[in-house]
């Protein structure tokens, strides 16, 4: 279909800032890991000291080398897209004062592609972000006989948890790592506070606690705490002191992290301390807060599901935490080697074993629940997979343990996490998606943009706020009416006040939403007339759009939301021109552009690449020879795209009518035209492999000369026994002819005679050809031969590995599932001849018949609005853009 003009129905002037790249969560986090994360790990581990203390190994600096293969080669060879990490190490011998400095190879590490994915063993994977409880302080409550007894939890990033609890008699006890309670006063003494200082600081508010405290001095307090941590163990005061001091003041064992310190300072309104250790002043403040909460009848505990108390660990941080484990193993290994190797001949290279680091990273990418096989159904599913958030995984929740409160949509999700898109199964509410404009701040909290409002006028200044900052302001919704100068034209405005919906005067407004679609995810904002659909159906629609199978004839929707171009742009499958120039060559595999000055640019197109879901990733040129192009123009479409616009489905003429019971219970009747014109036809690709091995009886051979096989079965094989590209194949057809030597058995007299006359020629061989499995058919679109001679890495005993790619065209059939963009899904019951379909007044037959009963009860009226606007758009020859919440209206 030719590119149509666009008519925008939005009643909103548009966001004053550009939407962040849809994959920026991935790329920004990985960039942090490369620039700062690895340096942080080196700082933590450096220096590694020998057990005796005479040798020290320092990590000076590090850098990544260039990858050995590019993305295309890595995909073809089935290997990992990785680059070597090298570091400068300095070994100091304190006895001899000698220093040895060397560059050391620390192993190959997977690197991220420009699209925010990793290629592991030739397969694209995505590391999804994890939404977990933030380190910091949380105040909790227990109700005892109608009385609220407050407590607190101090949760570090690494180390022991402290849980404060108020007893019914008013005393405060502290559990260390969920062991038995110890009096709060005993822990204060351990932290260095004397009884006199306690009385001065707390007056008589700690009197009930002091009365219950069995210890009277600091050594006894150490023993009291030790008894709770190690019940049954006998220890001296010195032993107890050594253990407890290491537990709280050894940076390798206890770390609040910068986030934990930030949350502690924020919650306790402390001066900006930067220490990542828990100090005496922190503990005093926490106890003061627990006492004041106990004395305040209106006090409420902290909401642990609020987004100010949950942070996101993106790919960079997840990788860093896994590597920390590897570095801990490396430290132990280096210390052991320092004890055994000769100090004179020892150097940094001999001390460091890179396998300890690479094995941890490989394990993370191959088996961690946050490293996932990428959804490659269509470009939208890829984009949304990179924007996925999970509360599950290491350090998170489990499906069985997750309560309804955790799964619920929280008021603080507004403009940060999509309230609609989530799985329908047991993961509902635990797997979520970022909204359109949200991103992460330096601490991993989700932030959203708002426009500053002063005295009822929009200033145009954009401010990013996190969930805790939003609580301080009154924020108006984006559907608030304002004039061209930015003055709000109504006296009262719907707003969020402390996160809850309310109404306030225009002069009181501090901020206004930046865009109407900022409170939903990418997939949800692709649903036209979303505001007319029930939330349950919108959830189904968001999920089903991600499952759409790319058609061989993509057709951009007549009714879109304006997000289609952005998704196509950020999918990484469109090819853009880097220069101004003229197209000199175009074919299915490349586009060549000659700029006015400089070298000719060649853009290679991807043809019939197999996706993770066995679908074809294919690029088609949009330009012709002689066309003038500008920098940034689209040169080629990806799969499921039409002129640079996302095109997940087809524009069909629909009738809502009953039809002889054939569309009972959501069944769908299709016209034969849809099948005939290949509107829903898709290409599915599968790889078939065969190994040519060196056996005990001799090597296997690929050949077109196979014993006891009919000639017509061999007609498409070349001289090496490999099928030609373009050949049509059906079940049991030979793809690669291969014979392998047979084991010798006792020969009959006749066989001995034949052997005597013809010599070795009569030796037995076995047919070991690769055949197309039963039920498969298609056309051969690719052949790749890997061999040891070419330097390819193959398993032991394999001489050659041959890959044959077979593409199959699949048309729509009865029993296939079809779905609209409003959760209106059904199964094709019958494909009827065109002449049997209902028709319009002008005799035009419809393409699809849906059941009208499927609308009222499901409350997804968006589909009716879409059909009306779509009809108008088709008649008048334009593409309608109706953004969510501020799109076309009934008028």
Q: For residue 448, is pLDDT > 90?
A: yes
pLDDT, tens digit, 9 for 90 and up, residues 301-338: 999 999 999 999 999 999 999 999 999 999 999 999 98
Pair (279, 321) in one structural domain: no
549 located within any domain? no
Report how far apart, in Å, the C-alpha atoms of 16 and of each of 19, 462, 514, 563, 788 are. Answer: 9, 8, 7, 16, 57
98 located within any domain? yes
Distance CA 450, CA 462 (A): 6
Q: For residue 1, is pLDDT > 70?
A: no
590: confidence class by pLDDT, cuts 50, 70, 90? very high
What pLDDT is stored for residue 558 in this prediction? 96
Q: How many CB atoms lie within 10 A of CB 188?
A: 25
Considering the chain, what percentage of its residues have pLDDT values greater than 90? 63
Omega prior to 659 cis, within 30 of 0: no
Pairwise pLDDT comparison (748 vs 513), residue with the higher score: 513
705 located within any domain? yes
What pLDDT is stored for residue 502 in this prediction? 92
Q: For residue 281, is pLDDT > 60?
A: yes
What pLDDT is stored for residue 819 in this prediction? 96
**Which residue, among 420, 460, 413, 459, has the nearest Cα to 438 in the 3D structure?**
413
Structure tokens at 841: 């007044």
Pair (217, 362) in one structural domain: no
Pseudo-torsion of CA 108, 157, 443, 418, nearest 10°? 90
759: confidence class by pLDDT, cuts 50, 70, 90? low
Give 166's contacts (C-beta < 8 A, 6+ positions apart): 142, 149, 150, 151, 172, 290, 294
Stretch 813-823: mean pLDDT: 95
What pLDDT is stored for residue 423 in this prediction? 95
What pLDDT is stored for residue 815 in this prediction? 95
274: confidence class by pLDDT, cuts 50, 70, 90? confident
378 located within any domain? no
Stretch 24-28: mean pLDDT: 94
CATH code for position 693: 2.40.50.150
The secondary structure element, H or E, covering residue 832 is strand 825-832
147: confidence class by pLDDT, cuts 50, 70, 90? confident
**Mean of pLDDT over the chain:** 90
Residue ending a domain, among 264, 292, 308, is 308
Pair (33, 119) in one structural domain: yes
CATH code for position 345: 3.90.1100.10
Distance CA 128, CA 123 (A): 16
Pair (292, 350) in one structural domain: no
Pairwise pLDDT comparison (646 vs 698), residue with the higher score: 646
Bridge pairing between strands 590-595 and 601-604: antiparallel
Pair (144, 108) in one structural domain: no
Pair (170, 124) in one structural domain: no
Lowest mean pLDDT among 75-79, 448-452, 886-890: 886-890
143 located within any domain? yes
Bridge partners of 87?
Answer: 62, 104
What pLDDT is stored for residue 269 in this prediction? 85
433 located within any domain? no
Residue ending a domain, among 284, 308, 332, is 308
Distance CA 164, CA 176 (A): 9
What pLDDT is stored for residue 760 in this prediction? 53
Q: For residue 891, is pLDDT > 60?
A: no
10 Å CB burial of residue 217 (0-12, 13-18, 19+) is exposed
Residue ending a domain, among 256, 280, 308, is 308
Pair (736, 705) in one structural domain: yes
pLDDT, tens digit, 9 for 90 and up, residues 41-83: 998 888 888 888 888 899 988 999 999 999 988 988 889 999 9
Bridge partners of 806?
Answer: 686, 780
763: confidence class by pLDDT, cuts 50, 70, 90? low
Distance CA 52, CA 13 (A): 70
pLDDT, tens digit, 9 for 90 and up, residues 634-680: 999 999 999 999 999 999 999 999 999 999 999 999 999 999 999 99
Stretch 842-851: mean pLDDT: 95
**Contact between 609 and 686 (Cβ < 8 Å):** no
Structure tokens at 213: 């405290």
Stretch 147-161: mean pLDDT: 91
Residue ranges in 527-607 assigned as alpha helix (H) = 535-545, 564-570
pLDDT, tens digit, 9 for 90 and up, residues 211-239: 888 888 888 888 888 888 888 777 787 88
753 located within any domain? yes
Pair (698, 804) in one structural domain: yes
Pair (168, 76) in one structural domain: no
What domain count does the chain have?
Answer: 3
Pair (223, 125) in one structural domain: no
744 located within any domain? yes
What pLDDT is stored for residue 250 in this prediction? 85
Q: For residue 699, is pLDDT > 90?
A: no
What pLDDT is stored for residue 873 in this prediction? 95
Pair (47, 195) in one structural domain: no
pLDDT, tens digit, 9 for 90 and up, residues 712-735: 888 889 999 999 999 999 999 999
What pLDDT is stored for residue 127 in this prediction? 96
- The domain in which residue 704 lies consists of 682-810
What pLDDT is stored for residue 2 in this prediction? 76
What pLDDT is stored for residue 771 in this prediction? 92
What pLDDT is stored for residue 95 in this prediction? 84
Pair (164, 304) in one structural domain: yes
Give 158's contacts (C-beta < 8 A, 6+ positions apart): 253, 254, 255, 257
Lowest mean pLDDT among 236-250, 412-426, 642-656: 236-250
Bridge pairing between strands 388-390 and 129-133: parallel
Stretch 606-621: mean pLDDT: 92
What pLDDT is stored for residue 496 in this prediction? 92
750: confidence class by pLDDT, cuts 50, 70, 90? confident
Distance CA 442, CA 311 (A): 11
pLDDT, tens digit, 9 for 90 and up, residues 787-808: 988 888 888 989 999 999 999 9
Stretch 583-595: mean pLDDT: 92
CATH code for position 252: 3.90.1110.10
Stretch 777-787: mean pLDDT: 92
């Amino acid at each position: 279909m030719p590119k149509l003009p666009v008519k925008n129905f939005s009643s909103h002037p548009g966001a004053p800032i550009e939407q962040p790249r849809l994959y920026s969560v991935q790329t920004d986090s990985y960039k942090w890991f490369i620039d700062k994360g690895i340096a942080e790990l080196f700082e933590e581990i450096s220096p590694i000291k020998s057990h005796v203390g005479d040798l020290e190994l320092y990590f000076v600096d590090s850098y990544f080398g260039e990858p050995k293969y590019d993305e295309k080669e890595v995909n073809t060879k089935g290997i990992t897209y990785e680059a070597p990490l090298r570091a400068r190490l300095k070994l100091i011998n304190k006895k001899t004062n000698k220093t040895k400095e060397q560059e050391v190879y620390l192993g190959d590490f997977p690197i991220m592609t420009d699209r925010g994915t990793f290629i592991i063993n030739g397969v694209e994977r995505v590391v999804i972000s994890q939404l977990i409880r933030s380190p910091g302080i949380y105040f909790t409550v227990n109700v005892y006989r109608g009385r609220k007894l407050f407590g607190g939890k101090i949760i570090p990033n690494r180390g022991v948890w402290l849980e404060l609890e108020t007893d019914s008699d008013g005393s405060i006890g502290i559990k260390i790592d969920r062991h038995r309670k110890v009096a709060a006063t005993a822990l204060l003494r351990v932290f260095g506070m004397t009884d006199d200082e306690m009385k001065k600081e707390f007056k008589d508010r700690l009197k009930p606690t002091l009365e219950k405290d069995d210890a009277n001095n600091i050594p006894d307090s150490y023993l009291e705490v030790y008894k709770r941590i190690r019940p049954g163990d006998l220890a001296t005061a010195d032993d107890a002191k050594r253990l407890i001091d290491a537990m709280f003041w050894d940076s390798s064992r206890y770390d609040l992290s910068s986030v934990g310190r930030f949350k502690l300072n924020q919650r306790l309104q402390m001066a900006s301390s930067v220490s990542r250790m828990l100090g005496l002043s922190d503990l005093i403040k926490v106890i003061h807060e627990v006492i004041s909460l106990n004395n305040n009848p209106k006090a409420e505990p902290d909401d642990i599901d609020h987004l100010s108390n949950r942070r996101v660990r993106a790919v960079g941080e997840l990788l860093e935490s896994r590597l920390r484990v590897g570095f801990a193993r490396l430290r132990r290994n280096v210390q052991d080697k320092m004890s055994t190797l000769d100090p004179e001949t020892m150097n940094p290279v001999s001390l460091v074993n890179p396998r300890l680091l690479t094995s941890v990273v490989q394990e993370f990418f191959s088996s961690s629940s946050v490293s996932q096989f990428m959804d490659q159904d269509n470009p939208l599913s890829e984009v949304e997979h990179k924007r996925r958030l999970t509360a599950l995984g290491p350090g998170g929740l489990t499906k069985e343990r997750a309560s309804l409160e955790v799964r619920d949509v929280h008021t603080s999700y507004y403009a940060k996490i999509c309230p609609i898109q989530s799985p329908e199964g047991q993961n509902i509410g635990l797997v979520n998606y970022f909204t359109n404009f949200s991103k992460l701040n330096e601490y991993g909290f989700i932030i959203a943009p708002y426009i500053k409002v002063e005295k009822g006028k929009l200033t145009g200044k954009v401010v990013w706020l996190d969930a805790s900052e939003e609580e301080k302001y009154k924020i108006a919704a984006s559907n608030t009416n304002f004039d061209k100068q930015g003055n709000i034209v109504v006296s009262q405005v719907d707003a969020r006040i402390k996160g809850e919906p309310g109404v306030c005067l225009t002069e009181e407004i501090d901020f206004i939403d930046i865009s109407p679609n900022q409170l939903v995810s990418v997939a949800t904002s692709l649903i036209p007339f979303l505001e007319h659909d029930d939330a349950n159906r919108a959830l189904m629609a968001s999920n089903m759009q991600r499952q759409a199978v790319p058609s061989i004839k993509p057709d951009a929707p007549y009714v879109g939301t304006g997000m289609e171009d952005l998704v196509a742009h950020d999918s990484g499958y469109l090819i853009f021109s880097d220069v101004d120039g003229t197209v000199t060559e175009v074919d299915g595999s490349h586009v060549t552009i000659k700029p006015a000055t400089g070298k000719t640019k060649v853009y290679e197109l991807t043809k019939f690449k197999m996706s993770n879901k066995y679908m074809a990733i294919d690029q088609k040129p949009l330009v012709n020879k002689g066309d003038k192009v500008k920098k940034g123009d689209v040169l080629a479409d990806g799969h499921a795209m039409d002129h640079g616009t996302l095109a997940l489905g087809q524009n069909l003429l629909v009738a809502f009518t009953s039809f002889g019971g054939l569309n009972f219970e959501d069944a769908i009747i299709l016209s034969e035209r849809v099948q005939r014109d290949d509107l829903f036809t898709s290409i599915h690709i599968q790889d078939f492999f065969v190994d040519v091995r060196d056996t005990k009886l001799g090597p296997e051979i690929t050949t077109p000369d196979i014993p006891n096989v009919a000639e017509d079965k061999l007609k498409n094989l070349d001289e090496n026994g490999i099928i030609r590209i373009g050949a049509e194949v059906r079940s049991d057809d030979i793809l690669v002819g291969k014979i392998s030597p047979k084991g010798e058995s006792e020969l009959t007299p006749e066989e001995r005679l034949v052997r005597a006359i013809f010599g070795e020629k009569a030796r037995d061989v076995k047919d070991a050809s690769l055949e197309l499995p039963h039920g498969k058919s298609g056309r051969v679109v690719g052949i790749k031969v890997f061999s040891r001679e070419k330097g390819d890495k193959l398993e032991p005993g394999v001489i050659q590995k041959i890959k044959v790619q077979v593409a199959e065209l699949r048309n729509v059939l009865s029993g296939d599932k079809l779905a609209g963009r409003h959760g209106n899904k059904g199964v094709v019951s019958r494909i009827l001849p065109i002449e049997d379909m209902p028709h319009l007044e002008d005799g035009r037959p419809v393409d699809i018949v849906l059941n009208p009963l499927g609308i009222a009860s499901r409350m997804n009226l968006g589909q009716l609005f879409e059909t009306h606007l779509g009809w108008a758009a088709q008649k008048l020859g334009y593409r309608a853009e109706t953004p969510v919440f501020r799109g076309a209206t009934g008028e």
